[in-house]
Amino acid sequence: MKAVVGFSGGIDSVACCMSLLKQGYAVTAVYLRLSPFSGDFEIERVKSLAARIGVEIEIKDARKCFEDLVLAPFRDAYSALKTPNPCVECNAAVKFPLLLEEADRLEAGFVATGHYARIVEEEGEMFLARGVDKVKDQSYMLYRLPQSVYHRLVFPLGGRFKKDVAGETEAIYPEFFTGVPESRDLCFVENGGAPEYLREQGMEWPEGPISTKGGEILGKHRGLGRYTIGQRKGLGLSGGPWFAIAKDSKTNTLFVGGPDELAATRVTCRKPVWRLMRTDLPHLTGQHRYRAGAVPVTLENPTLEGFIVRASDGRCFTGAAPGQSMVLYSRDRVIGGGIIESSERRGLGHDDRRHACSRETA
């Protein structure tokens, strides 16, 4: 059996290679050069680590593809005052297509990565499912992968816990991971986060008022593109606690409110992907951020254009922002998902505040 491994040089990709070698796979590591900050030092490091493990390595320059399919849409989304998730798009549009392409070129039947997720088979059907380690589970980031490639995907770490993987791998290769940070969500941002990256790309937003929904002006924001729904830090306001709850491009106003005003009970999504487009599945839940907990939901009006989820059992989604992904699960299986377009929140078109819903747990 031959497998291509997406190889970043981090603990998880190394552990992935080690696991496959133990299972008897012939392994070729593939390093995708995506970030503009992955220079010669990083390439030499992954080459050295692959040699130490005992696998061949291919270096593929994918920066142009990454720019066109991830970075450009990322900037466009921020221009529209949305909150994109570039990792989700990168996995579906860049990483896995390129790894599958390399696998075909090398006549390898399988593509493996160090993601904490699983491919499971039930009654002859294959599903993407949560990893056993619920804290590290990364199925959310992979939900847009097409079902047609599931039979070629291998996730050796999906049935393991991160702490065990890290401990074993560091014990064998301690010199390679000292001072090496975990992978970042925004691999293309070196310092300062998304706002600083966008400023360097020539994107600026004018200052404007920070207001409550009742019209009380509390301060001044530094540009709407610098804030995301649910943000608490960096608002520069006294009192509170205050959270960003809405952005109005017409008046250039950032609206803030208390935690109850972030509570969304109904979310509309577009650009769906479906594994099962059904409303009668057992234990149906929705997850609107990678680190958010799953919330019991009712699925409404699922189509090829979009869907609506309504939180049930007195629960709600805290800080659901346009541009983020809503991933749907039946038990641990991913059955679909889409991009959040809008949400109905307390304080935003809802006057009934008599019943506070309990927020999801992370």
The residues, ordered by sequence, that sit 6+ positions from 146 with a Cβ below 8 Å of its Cβ are: 273
87 catalytic? Reply is no
> Quick one: which of 315, 309, 313 has its CA closest to 343?
309
- CB neighbours of residue 65 within 10 Å: 18
Q: What is the DSSP letter of 174?
A: G
C-alpha radius of gyration, the chain, whole number = 22
d(CA 108, CA 14): 19
Provide the angle, in degrees to the nearest 10, between the axes of the packed helices 193-200 and 72-79. Answer: 100
Three-state SS for 195-255 is HHHHHHCCCCCCCEEEECCCCCEEEEECCHHHCCCCCCCCCCCCCCCCEEEEEECCCCEEE
- Of the listed 16, 17, 87, 90, which one is catalytic? 90
187 catalytic? Reply is yes
- Of the listed 17, 87, 187, 316, which one is catalytic? 187
Decide: helix, strand or coil at residue 61: strand
Alpha helices in the chain (DSSP H): 11-22, 40-53, 63-66, 72-79, 86-90, 96-105, 162-172, 193-200
Three-state SS for 254-283 is EEEECHHHHEEEEEEEEEEEECCCCCCCCC
d(CA 94, CA 305): 23
**Six token digits for residue 280:** 């009668």
The amino acid occupying position 127 is F
Active site residue ranges: 90, 187
